[in-house]
Structure 1
Amino acid sequence: MEYMIGVDLGTTSTKAVMFDDQNQVVASANKGYSLYRDLPDMAEEDLDEIFTALIDALSEVVRTAKLNDEDRVAAVSFSSAMHSLIAFDKNWQPLTRVITWADTRAVKYTEELKASGVGHEIYQKTGTPIHPMAPLSKLLWLKAEKPEIFNQTAHYLGIKEYIFHRLFGANKMDISIASGTGLFNIFNLNWDEQALAVTGITKEQLPQPVETYEYETKLRTEYAKVIGIPDDTPFVYGAGDGPLSNLGVDAVKPGVAAITIGTSGAIRVVADEPVIDPKGRTFTYALDKDHWVVGGPVNNGGDVFRWARDNMFDAEKSTAALLGIDSYDLLTKIASEVPAGSNGLIFHPYLGGERAPIWDANARGSFFGLNHQHTRAHMLRAVLEGITFNVYMVSLALEEVVGGLKSIQATGGFARSPLWRQMFADIFEQPVTVPEAFESGALAAVIVAQKALGKIDDLYEISNFIGKSNTYQPDPENFEAYRELAPIFIRLSRQLQSEYENIANYQRKHSN
């Protein structure tokens, strides 16, 4: 039997999932690593920790599957977090750790680029909003504040490209990851001259752009032995985690949106060509050259729920551990006892700045409307509603660009919460469908590998493997509360924006 492994390179962990020839899960392994926040606005990862996690995850799934001599791993394919940047010298020695999408130290240079008007010109060609998340901004920061690194750098890669370089000696980047750098022209599928000129780097410092279906087959022997696979096993480059998430939940038809809430979150739809928002609110990233994912990412998703748990519900967290139940299940039960709208309590979830819809790295979170009747339970439900309202704001911008939404496919950690799924259905007033396949990113990577190797003709084959789905219908009883609160949430976010920079600068000034 032939097996394939889908690898999901995430922000805080790497997961490897082995599928059989019917795309059923055979084995999986998940290996975590740290996200370093040693300084204000920093969010970095260690290269060796990530590489070790990858090798450990791959070797564990191969070992767990207990393949026979006649069985083989036909391919390994990748989904990867986007927007990371690593600098290397001429000898390929790293000069930085992995600077992740969550790192916002480039905020000053991002705002200057936006104010100049050049940023919007670059956005119109690259499809990546001007924001500190993007390598474009990170390069401006490196040039200004780390010139000793900037001047030594001979090569720039992202985390997946580093993995492939270490495994194969390659220097390539798939067009999906490239389309999220802010440096890649999505219309001519090459590095953009204006973006390069602004950052002060050259094409020679960047990898060769390749199709999603490109693969390598000369795995270094020492790694092949440790993993337990032949050194000629194809490793397919795959794509970014956002575009693959749409594929993984079969949200590739017009009007079908994929909503993902993990640590962060996003809402995305697929178009057959790049679509640029005149107001610069949405991204356009490649799945492949014929499928373009248009949407908006939010910084604040499940990590805000975790913040609420750790800072307001420590006792309940301990109780859940003693009872052997999931602490988030206990918390959603508490939140479910509060009526829709949290009795007029609104939460803006901008604990980590924000990307879509406001694209303001200085944004900060807040509760609004607190009065004597509100309890921790109200605050908890308001947190979940605030995350949802924020994604709803993104959807309004998305509808302006690509047209109305017909239905929602849900994936990520929130998709396991019946309360949260119903909340999305009620606020969006759209059916929310949760596919049975929770390993959607890894499955999508495997589907890409099957197309790369000629085993299937097109990506739509994935619809045969999604499995059963649960659909949550909007509850009209909750419409009135959410219809009244959503405009307040939106207006308030705009009014507060004039003070976000001031409070953010105060926090940076007084940070320990």
Structure 2
Amino acid sequence: MPAYIIAHDIGTTNHKCTVFNDEGEVVSSAARAYPTFYQKGGIAEQDPSDWWRNFCETTVQVLKDINPREIAGISFSAHMNGCLPVDSDGKPLMRSMIHADTRSSEIESEIYSKISEDQLYGITGNRLESRYPLLKMYWMKKENPEMYSKAKYFLQAKDYLAFRLTGNLGVTDYSDASLTGAFNLETRDWEASIFKETGLDLTKMPTPVPSTEVIGYVQKSTALVTGLVEGTPVIIGGGDGACATVGAGCLAKDETYLSLGTTAWVSKVADKPFIDPDKRVFTICDLNPKYYNVLGTMQTAGSAYEWAIKQLSSITDWETVSVEPEYSDFETQLKTVPAGSRGVIFHPYLLGERSPIWNDKARGSFFGLSLEHNRFDIAKSVLEGIAFSLASISEIINNAGSKREIRMIGGLAKSGTFIQIISDVLNLPVRLTENASEATSIGAAIAGGVGVGMFPSFEDAASLIHTGNIYEPNQQHTEIYAEQLERFKVLYDRIKDIPFYT
């Protein structure tokens, strides 16, 4: 049987192609960057031709290391919340509006005048905002009705690439569909009442299928430009959030992980949608059709720490006010700062916040500073503030209290100091996964392997996920952080209505 799965991961800034063998080992990889086009008014777009060019270039590169006839299948992970209108030939009608595009924010109230927020959340498991494709489609119909009329389908990034590979137009997977704002989590299909109430055309939506679905085969034209073998199976894969869950090793009910990068989220595997009465978290479909992922996301995690280190590091050139971030030196010094940062509390709301407070006007703040504090107290309070935000999410999705270990992936998983803080704040063991930066690609590869029969089930593919070190909570620190977390929440409640100027 063919021995390799190729996973293409379309990220916000980079496209990565990774070849895995049937033991989960990386055999070859290649990456390419592409631009995002930002403009005033909340516009954030990517060019689908960049996606396709990078797909071809990275594929050609990795095929130098393997025999293309030994490829069992090609699968995908990609950023979610996109909106790419294509015509009946699959030709893009504009650049794709990606997840960061918020141009539809001014019409959010119009949607809620047509369908209640509680009703929408109860059906879709999501609270609607401008990043969701439903609002982007509604915006297009209102602002550019001619383009809306010409659109045959509205696709996600991976759906477009799958079409280019196979010629099969108009297919998506459950996970991406579940983050559009128009998908019924219970039926795993588009919710007709939402389209009726908003006046949008349901027939313009791609057909949702399981993430393991073989949606076609590499066509001759693609084989000629990439070196792939015509007829190689193409698996639709999933959105990056769902792929990360599987890649983190969360394959069974109640297993939970943290993803810590520029942004961060906490996600738990559930066997049914999690409908929070206060709408603080949201639910998407898992790659495994038996499950869902309930999660909460925070806006600034790694970006908040990066900001802090840049402000606190020494200036190396006063003419340009250049700073060389001193991460390793801070990592060493932070170990000397006691838990609780000598009373300093930081709210990491540098770009507003999503879960659990959903307040885009919230701003970052430091409390408790005195002349006795130094830069290292401040820096550690930033890490603790991020951890408190994540704990505020974790306690919602694990409302019965979890004693399980929690997995961790993402760039900040390299900081031992921060991982220990997370363990202490959550009062849970934190287990790292090897190749944490490959989690979304591993998830896509597992979906592909299950799809082509390389693995009988997701559970049988667990051996592909290699775990690393485990951090145990320090009970003395846990007691300190339990009190500090309550202060963190109380302080926010007392200042949340104060207008801040930016």
The 10-residue stretch of structure 1 (204-213 or 157-166) with the greater mean CA deviation from structure 2 = 157-166
Residue 476 of structure 1, CA deviation: 2.1
Do the aligned partners of 1:256 and 1:405 also contact (CA within 8 Å) in 2? no
C-alpha distance in 2, partners of 1:76/1:314?
47
Residue 90 of structure 1, CA deviation: 5.4
Do the aligned partners of 2:85 and 2:155 also contact (CA within 8 Å) in 1? yes
Question: How do residues 438-477 of structure 1 correspond to structure 2 at under 5 angstroms?
Answer: 438=436, 439-477=438-476
Do the aligned partners of 1:250 and 1:466 also contact (CA within 8 Å) in 2? yes
Tell me what 2:54 maps to.
53
Letter in structure 2 aligned against 1:60: Q
Is the alpha carbon distance of 1:154 and 1:448 closer, same or farther for their aligned partners in structure 2, counting shifts above 3 Å?
A: closer
Query: In structure 2, the residue corresponding to 1:448 is in which secondary structure?
Result: helix
Do the aligned partners of 1:317 and 1:327 also contact (CA within 8 Å) in 2? no
Deviation readout 1:321-362 (Å, 9 max, x if unpaired) = xxxx99644443343343322222222222233221122333
C-alpha distance in 1, partners of 2:466/2:50?
34
Sequence identity percentage: 31
Is the alpha carbon distance of 1:206 and 1:487 closer, same or farther for their aligned partners in structure 2, counting shifts above 3 Å?
A: same
The answer to whether the aligner puts 1:74 opposite 2:72 as a matched pair is yes
C-alpha distance in 2, partners of 1:313/1:148?
52
Question: How do residues 332-347 of structure 1 correspond to structure 2 at under 5 angstroms?
Answer: 332-347=331-346
Structure 2 length-normalised TM: 0.90
Question: How do residues 207-356 of structure 1 correspond to structure 2 at under 5 angstroms?
Answer: 207-287=206-286, 288-313=288-313, 315=315, 328-356=327-355
Tell me what 1:178 maps to.
177
C-alpha distance in 1, partners of 2:80/2:113?
25
Tell me what 1:109 maps to.
107
Tell me what 1:424 maps to.
422
C-alpha distance in 2, partners of 1:26/1:326?
33
Query: In structure 1, the residue corresponding to 2:63 is in which secondary structure?
Result: helix
Do the aligned partners of 1:309 and 1:317 also contact (CA within 8 Å) in 2? no
The 10-residue stretch of structure 1 (128-137 or 102-111) with the greater mean CA deviation from structure 2 = 102-111
C-alpha distance in 1, partners of 2:113/2:372?
44
Is the alpha carbon distance of 1:379 and 1:223 closer, same or farther for their aligned partners in structure 2, counting shifts above 3 Å?
A: farther
C-alpha distance in 2, partners of 1:35/1:347?
31
Is the alpha carbon distance of 1:153 and 1:491 closer, same or farther for their aligned partners in structure 2, counting shifts above 3 Å?
A: farther
Is the alpha carbon distance of 1:377 and 1:234 closer, same or farther for their aligned partners in structure 2, counting shifts above 3 Å?
A: same
C-alpha distance in 2, partners of 1:429/1:53?
43
Residue 91 of structure 1, CA deviation: 5.6
Do the aligned partners of 2:6 and 2:71 also contact (CA within 8 Å) in 1? yes
Is the alpha carbon distance of 1:377 and 1:47 closer, same or farther for their aligned partners in structure 2, counting shifts above 3 Å?
A: farther
Is the alpha carbon distance of 1:115 and 1:479 closer, same or farther for their aligned partners in structure 2, counting shifts above 3 Å?
A: farther
Is the alpha carbon distance of 1:140 and 1:327 closer, same or farther for their aligned partners in structure 2, counting shifts above 3 Å?
A: farther
Deviation readout 1:136-167 (Å, 9 max, x if unpaired) = 23334444555565455443111111222233
Do the aligned partners of 1:283 and 1:296 also contact (CA within 8 Å) in 2? yes
Residue 379 of structure 1, CA deviation: 2.8
Query: In structure 2, the residue corresponding to 1:455 is in which secondary structure?
Result: coil
C-alpha distance in 2, partners of 1:277/1:392?
16
Question: How do residues 351-430 of structure 1 correspond to structure 2 at under 5 angstroms?
Answer: 351-400=350-399, 404=402, 406-430=404-428
Question: How do residues 191-206 of structure 1 correspond to structure 2 at under 5 angstroms?
Answer: 191-206=190-205
C-alpha distance in 2, partners of 1:312/1:88?
47
Tell me what 1:12 maps to.
13
Is the alpha carbon distance of 1:458 and 1:91 closer, same or farther for their aligned partners in structure 2, counting shifts above 3 Å?
A: closer
Letter in structure 2 aligned against 1:157: L
Do the aligned partners of 1:106 and 1:138 also contact (CA within 8 Å) in 2? yes
Do the aligned partners of 2:164 and 2:222 also contact (CA within 8 Å) in 1? no
Deviation readout 1:439-468 (Å, 9 max, x if unpaired) = 222122111112111222210123222234
Number of residue equivalences: 494
Letter in structure 2 aligned against 1:102: A
Tell me what 1:321 maps to.
none
Residue 94 of structure 1, CA deviation: 3.0
Tell me what 1:24 maps to.
25
C-alpha distance in 2, partners of 1:483/1:115?
41
Is the alpha carbon distance of 1:309 and 1:91 closer, same or farther for their aligned partners in structure 2, counting shifts above 3 Å?
A: farther
Residue 403 of structure 1, CA deviation: 5.5
Do the aligned partners of 1:213 and 1:238 also contact (CA within 8 Å) in 2? yes
C-alpha distance in 2, partners of 1:416/1:205?
43
Query: In structure 2, the residue corresponding to 1:242 is in which secondary structure?
Result: helix
Query: In structure 2, the residue corresponding to 1:498 is in which secondary structure?
Result: coil
Do the aligned partners of 2:313 and 2:325 also contact (CA within 8 Å) in 1? no
Is the alpha carbon distance of 1:137 and 1:120 closer, same or farther for their aligned partners in structure 2, counting shifts above 3 Å?
A: farther
C-alpha distance in 1, partners of 2:261/2:278?
27
Is the alpha carbon distance of 1:334 and 1:208 closer, same or farther for their aligned partners in structure 2, counting shifts above 3 Å?
A: same
Do the aligned partners of 2:270 and 2:294 also contact (CA within 8 Å) in 1? yes
Residue 241 of structure 1, CA deviation: 1.6
Deviation readout 1:253-299 (Å, 9 max, x if unpaired) = 34321111122211111122223222222222112321111121222
Letter in structure 2 aligned against 1:416: K
Letter in structure 2 aligned against 1:417: S
Tell me what 1:436 maps to.
434
Is the alpha carbon distance of 1:131 and 1:488 closer, same or farther for their aligned partners in structure 2, counting shifts above 3 Å?
A: farther
Is the alpha carbon distance of 1:72 and 1:44 closer, same or farther for their aligned partners in structure 2, counting shifts above 3 Å?
A: same
User: What residue ranges of structure 2 are gaps of 5+ in the alignment?
Assistant: 319-323
The 10-residue stretch of structure 1 (94-103 or 275-284) with the greater mean CA deviation from structure 2 = 94-103
Deviation readout 1:369-401 (Å, 9 max, x if unpaired) = 33333333333222222221111111121123x
Structure 1 length-normalised TM: 0.88
Do the aligned partners of 2:223 and 2:230 also contact (CA within 8 Å) in 1? yes
Residue 421 of structure 1, CA deviation: 0.8
C-alpha distance in 2, partners of 1:68/1:219?
16
C-alpha distance in 2, partners of 1:114/1:243?
27
RMSD: 2.8
Do the aligned partners of 2:23 and 2:463 also contact (CA within 8 Å) in 1? no
Is the alpha carbon distance of 1:139 and 1:358 closer, same or farther for their aligned partners in structure 2, counting shifts above 3 Å?
A: farther
Do the aligned partners of 1:88 and 1:95 also contact (CA within 8 Å) in 2? yes
C-alpha distance in 1, partners of 2:119/2:384?
35
C-alpha distance in 2, partners of 1:443/1:295?
20
Query: In structure 2, the residue corresponding to 1:305 is in which secondary structure?
Result: helix
Do the aligned partners of 2:72 and 2:452 also contact (CA within 8 Å) in 1? no
Do the aligned partners of 1:342 and 1:381 also contact (CA within 8 Å) in 2? yes
Which of 97, 118, 125 pairs up with 1:127?
A: 125
Do the aligned partners of 2:247 and 2:442 also contact (CA within 8 Å) in 1? yes
C-alpha distance in 2, partners of 1:138/1:334?
46
Query: In structure 2, the residue corresponding to 1:44 is in which secondary structure?
Result: strand
Is the alpha carbon distance of 1:68 and 1:173 closer, same or farther for their aligned partners in structure 2, counting shifts above 3 Å?
A: closer
User: What residue ranges of structure 1 are gaps of 5+ in the alignment?
Assistant: 319-324, 508-512
